[in-house]
Structure 1
C-alpha cells in the first residue's frame, strides 16, 4: 500500500465525523498556448457543482477546475459567497497528480455543526508561470481547507488554498501546448518557445497567441532567443478571419523604421506561431496596410528559408565508432576515409557537423588521457587542447563550432576560422553547480543545451553575452520513478530522447520543458543501456547489452538496426 493511501486509512480510522472514504484520481493524459490576465477576461460556459456533493467530492471537483476563464469562475463556484468575491490566488498555477481528498484530523477545539476540514494530498508536477511557460516542481503537496454547509443545504469552501491548484488531468483537458516562435542566436531562423494556453474560447486563441509572441520569449529563454518585433509593438485589432476569404488577419501597430529583412523575419515568427492554432492563410498588416510590399497572404511553406532543420540530413546517413575506428552505419560498415577510419587514431567517440563536412573525434592519447581532434571529413584531424581523462561525445553548434566536456567538469568549444581552430572554455558554473557532467548535447538551432548532470536530466539556455557564451537558466527535469539518466539526444526541436537505468522504462521521449515523459516499450531491450542517438524521421537508436535497436515511435516494438554492428559500437548522426 502506498504512503498516501496508508495515511488516508489511518486518519479515517480515528475520525468521529462521518465522511466519505478516500479517493484518488488517476492522471496520465497530456495537454492537447494567453497570458493569465487575458484568460481571466474570457467567457465560457461554466457548470456549477452538483447540489448533492459532500465535502470530499466538492474539494476534489475544485482541484479539477482548471479553466482560467472569467477570473477562475469555475473554481469560484466551489467557494462560499464571501470567498467567491475575495479569493485572489497568485499568478502561478500549481499542477499536481495522484490527488487524494481525506478528512483532516480533528482540531483541538470541536468544530461547529456544518463545518468540516478536508485535507488535499497530491504529488507536485510543476507550475504554469505568468508567461504561460511550464517548469517542473517536485515533492508532496498538502493543504487543509475548511468546508461549510450553506443555508441552501450545499457545501462550499470557506478557506481555499492561497494558490490555484489543479490536477494534471484537468489541466490537460483545458490547456494545450503551442510553440511560440522567436529567432535563434544568429537571428537567421525561427525557434520554438513552448507555452500553454486555454483551448477555449477558440475564437480568441489566435489573438492570445500573438499577444504571447509580441510579449517576447519566456523568462527561461529570454537570454538565448531574439525577436524581430520591436518593443512595444502589439496587435492593433483582434486577430481574426478576414471577411469573405477566410484569411487570418494580423494587424500590428507601427513598427517604426525597420528593414525589409526584419519585416520578413517578423512574418516568419507570426506565421509559424499561428500554424498550430489555425490552418488559414495569414494576412500580415501594419496599421491596416500590408506588412510586406510584394506579398499579402502567407503560409509556413512560403517561409521555409527561415525554418531551421532540426533533423539529421537523410542523404548523409549515420556513422559509428566501431573498435576505435570511424565507420559508416550500414550493412557493410566500411571505414570512412582518412586516419579516423584507418585506425591511426584510436577513436573513442565522435560527432559530425550538420552539413557532414567536418568530424570531431575524441581520441586516445595514452591509457589515462584523451584529446579532441577536429577537421574535414575523410582527412587528417587537427589535435586541439586541453586533454583530459574523459571527454563527452562532441556536439555541434552550426558547422563551424563544436563542444565537448572535459573530465566531466569543463565545457569547451572549438571554433573554426580562416586561420584554424581556437579553443575556449564556456562559462557553465551556474548551469552545473559544480556537479559532474557525463553527457551534453546542443539543440540543432544552437539556443538550448541539455545535459546529464550527476545522473539527472537538466536543460538550459545558451546565451551569447558580450562575445562570450554562457550556459544559464538550468531547469532539472525529474525522471519518473527517480530513474538515473545515462544518455540523451535531441529528438526534435521540442523534445529529447533519453536512456535510463530503469528495467521497465529504459527509454523515454521527454518534452523540452519536462511536462511529458513518454516511455518507449521495453520489449527486446536489456540493461545496461549504453548509448542513444537520433536519426532522420526522427528515429531513436539505442545500444543495449547485446545489440543496436531502432524505433520511430514510443509505441513501436524495437527493431534490430544491423546485426553485424554490435552493441560495443557507438552510432551517431550529424549534429
Structure 2
C-alpha cells in the first residue's frame, strides 16, 4: 500500500511538472476520506517593542496568511486579548496596492488617552474578493483607501490593536498574487449548450486541498457576476459527503450526495462540469460518486479528453471578413462577396455557422439601419428604429444564427429575432444598468451567450445576459481596469474569459484583459499608428486590429504587428460572432 501511494505521488509530481497551470508544489490527492477541520496552529507572537505604526503595518502583512479559511490566524497576534476573542474574519478580502502607508490620524481624531492611538492605513484600492471568491475591480480603479485602526498600549508595554476591525481582511496585491490561485469554475449555459468559465480565486496552500476548495465553489454555484446567466447542474441540494480523495489507482474521487436521480444525459453534463472545473488543480482521473455509487454506469473515471465536445466559436474554415469602402471582403483572399451585393456598409458581423450576415448600412441623411441577409444577397431591413449610430452587430450563438444585437445611438440595446414566419423582428433588451453608466459605442456578445462586453463612456465593461420568460436583461455590469483603460475604442472576445480591447492611446493601443479585470497585458505597440479603432479576435485565431493605415495581425502579446495581406485604409475586420 505504501509503495503504491509513493508511485502515485511520483506520477502526479511528474505530470504536474509539465503543466504550467498547476502550482509547482501541487499534490492533488488527499488520502483521508473525511472532511477534517483545519489544524489549529499557534501563531508566533510579534517581537517586543514594536511601535503602533509597525504593529498595524505588520497586521496587514499577516492578514494574507490568515485568509486561508481562517485556520492559521497569523494576524490575530497583533490584537489585544478581548479583540482576539471576538474577531471573526469572513471569507472575502479588500486588495490594496503594494505601496501603502501607516500614519497617525490628525490630532482632532485622536483620543485623550495617551495609551491609545488611531492609526490610518492609507493606500490605493485595487479591488475586492467577494464571499463568492470572485474578484471585483475597484471603481474608480486605484481609488483612495483609508482604514482607521485603534491601537492601545497593553499592561506589558506592547501596542496591540483594539479595533474597530472590518471582518473583510485587507491585503496587498503582491500578497494576493502569492497566496491565491485562479481557477475557472464551470457552469452550464442552457441557452447555448456549452460550459461557461466563472473565474474564482482560492487559497493556494495547502496544495492538497485545492480540489476540495474548487469543488466547494462548484457546489455553491455561480458567482454574483453570472447569476441567472448560467445554471449549476448539481442542483440546490448537492453537497460533498467527504473530502475529495485520492485512491490506489491514482484517480481522484468526488463523493457527492443530494443530486437526486437525474437522467443519463444530465449525469454526463454533471461529470463534464466537475472535470472541467478541476482540470487546472489536478492531473488525476476524476471519479464522480452519487450517494456512494458511480454517477454513470458505463464509465467511472474521466479526464477532459474523455468528455464530449462542447465547442464555442466558429468552424475553423471560416477565415473572417472585413468591411472597406462600403463593401465586404474575405480576409482569406480579399475577394468581395459573391455578386458584391452589399453597398454602403459601415460595419458587419457573420453568424457563427457562416451562413448569414448582419450589416449596419448607411442611409441618406446620416442615418443608419440594421439589415440581415445571406452571404450573396441582402434581405429585409430589421423593423427597428434607425439611428445616427449603430454599433457593429453581434450574433447570439444559441439559436444557430437567429438573433442579432446592436446598440442604437448609445442608449438603446436591441436584438433582432428571427420569427417563425421568417421575418426579423426587433425586441428590446433591458440594459438600464449599463446605459446608466454612459453611452455604448461597442457591444459584443460572448460566443457562449452568457456575457456581453461593451465600451461605455470610453471604458471597458462586462455584464451578464439573463434570459427569463419576461425578456432579456443585462445585469451586474462591471468596469474593467478603468484607471488603465480610459480611451477604449473597440473590444472583442479572444476566448470565453478573455477580452482584447483597443484604444486611442499611443502607449497601450492593444491590450488583453481577463473578464474579471484582475490584470492587464499589453500587446507590442510596434508598427501601429494611434488611434487603433477596430479589433477582431477569436479562439485559436490571430488577433487583427485596424488603425488609420489598414489591418495588422499578431498571434501573441510580444509579437510585432505585421501588415495583413488583405487590407485597406478604412478596413474593419470581423471574425464570425
TM-score of Structure 1 vs Structure 2, range by shorter chain? 0.7 to 0.9
Counterparts of 1:338 and 1:419, CA distance in 2: 27
Residues 154, 547 of structure 1: CA spacing in aligned structure 2 closer, same or farther, 3 A cutoff? Answer: farther
* Partner residue of 1:165 out of 163, 166, 170: 170
Report SS of the residue matched to 1:176. Answer: strand
In 2: Cα distance, 1:75 partner to 1:158 partner: 13
The 3-state SS of whatever aligns with 2:516 is coil
Q: Following TM superposition, by how much is the alpha carbon of 1:240 offset from its aligned partner in structure 2, in angstroms? A: 1.3
SS in 2 for 1:297: coil
- In structure 2, the CA distance between the partners of 1:247 and 1:51, relative to structure 1 (3 Å rule), is farther
How much has 1:241 moved relative to structure 2?
1.0
| CA drift at 1:266 | 0.7
Once residues 476 and 323 of structure 1 are traced to their aligned partners in structure 2, the CA distance between those partners, rounded to angstroms, is 34
Return the offset for 1:422. Answer: 2.6
Deviation, structure 1 residue 434 = 7.1
| Per-residue deviation, 1:149 | 4.8
Alignment counterpart, residue 383 of structure 1, candidates 364, 381, 384: 381
Matched, 1:298 2:297: no
CA-CA distance at 1:501 after TM superposition: 2.9
Match of 1:551 among 541, 551, 554: 554
C-alpha distance in 1 between matches for 2:564 and 2:246 = 48
> CA contact under 8 A between 1:135 and 1:514: conserved in structure 2?
yes
Find the counterpart in structure 2 of residue 560 from structure 1: 563
Shift of 1:224: 0.7
Query: Contact (CA 8 Å) 1:492, 1:538: kept in 2 or not?
Result: no
Aligned residues: 533
Indicate which of 345, 348, 362 corresponds to 1:347.
Answer: 345
Q: 1:456 aligns with which of 446, 452, 459?
A: 459
Q: What's the counterpart of residue 513 of structure 1?
A: 516
Shift of the alpha carbon at 1:156?
Answer: 3.1
Question: Equivalent residue of 1:132, what SS?
Answer: coil
Alignment equivalent of 1:66, drawn from 60, 64, 73:
64
1:435 and 2:401 equivalent? no
The equivalent of 2:396 in structure 1 is 397
Aligned position for 1:119: 120
Which residue of 368, 372, 375 corresponds with 1:374?
372
> CA contact under 8 A between 1:180 and 1:195: conserved in structure 2?
yes
1:230/1:144 CA distance change after superposition, 3 Å: closer
TM-superposition CA deviations, 1:7-40 (whole Å, max 9, x none): xxxxxxxxxxxxxxxxxxxxxxx998xxxxx999
Compute the displacement of 1:179 (Å). 1.0
Rounded to whole Å, the distance in 2 between the matches of 1:267 and 1:510 is: 30
> Structure 2 vs 1, CA of residues 534 and 200 (structure 1 numbering), >3 Å: closer, same or farther?
same
Q: What is the alpha-carbon distance in structure 1 between the residues aligned to residue 112 and residue 506 of structure 2?
A: 50
Structure 1 Cα separation of the partners of residues 478 and 22 of structure 2: 20
The answer to whether the Cα contact below 8 Å between 2:95 and 2:171 also exists between their aligned partners in 1 is yes
Q: How does 1:55-454 map to 2 (within 5 A)?
A: 55-64=52-61, 65-67=63-65, 68-69=67-68, 71=70, 73-89=73-89, 91-97=91-97, 98-107=99-108, 116-138=117-139, 139-150=143-154, 154-159=158-163, 161-162=165-166, 163-186=168-191, 188-242=193-247, 244-305=248-309, 307-310=310-313, 312-330=314-332, 332-340=333-341, 344-386=342-384, 387-398=386-397, 399-423=401-425, 424-433=427-436, 435-454=438-457
Evaluate the alpha carbon distance shift between residue 434 and residue 164 of structure 1 in structure 2; reply closer, same or farther with a 3 A threshold.
Answer: closer
Separation (CA, whole Å) in 1 of partners of 2:244 and 2:554: 40
Q: Relative to 1, partners in 2 of residues 1:482 and 1:351: Cα closer, same or farther, differing over 3 Å?
A: closer
Compared CA separation, residues 539 and 295, structure 1 to 2 (3 A): same
Moved more, 146-155 or 370-379: 146-155
Q: CA separation in 2, counterparts of 1:348 and 1:108?
A: 60
2:531 matches 1:528: yes
* Secondary structure in 1 matching 2:479: strand
Q: 1:42 to 1:366 in 2, by over 3 A?
A: farther
Whether the 8 Å CA contact 2:493–2:538 is kept in 1: the answer is no
The separation in 1 between residues aligned to 2:569 and 2:39, in whole angstroms, is 55
User: What SS class does the counterpart of residue 388 from structure 1 fall into?
Assistant: coil
Q: Which whole-Å CA distance do the structure 2 matches of 1:374 and 1:136 have between them?
A: 37
Change (3 A) 1:108 1:94: closer
> 1:114 deviation in Å?
6.1
SS in 2 for 1:77: helix
Aligned residues of 2:346 and 2:359 also touching (Cα < 8 A): yes
Match of 1:541 among 528, 540, 544: 544
Q: Which runs of 5+ in 2 are unaligned?
A: 1-20, 24-34
Structure 1 residues 461, 84: CA separation in 2 closer, same or farther (over 3 Å shift)? same
* Cα distance in structure 1, aligned partners of 2:522 and 2:331: 26
In 2: Cα distance, 1:39 partner to 1:161 partner: 29
> How far apart are the structure 2 equivalents of 1:237 and 1:91?
21
Task: Please list every run of 5 or more consecutive structure 1 residues that lacks an aligned counterpart in the other structure.
Answer: 1-29, 33-37
Deviation of 1:304 after TM superposition, in Å, equals 3.5
Specify whether residues 92 and 78 from structure 1 end up closer, same or farther in structure 2 by C-alpha distance, changes over 3 A only. same
**Alpha carbons of 1:40 and 1:473: their partners in 2 closer, same or farther (altered >3 Å)?**
farther
Q: TM-score, normalised by structure 2?
A: 0.86
Deviation at 1:326, TM superposition (A): 0.3
Answer whether contact 1:43 1:70 (CA < 8 A) is retained: no
Does the Cα contact within 8 Å between 2:194 and 2:312 map onto a contact in 1?
Answer: no
Does the residue aligned with 2:266 lie in a helix, a strand or coil? helix
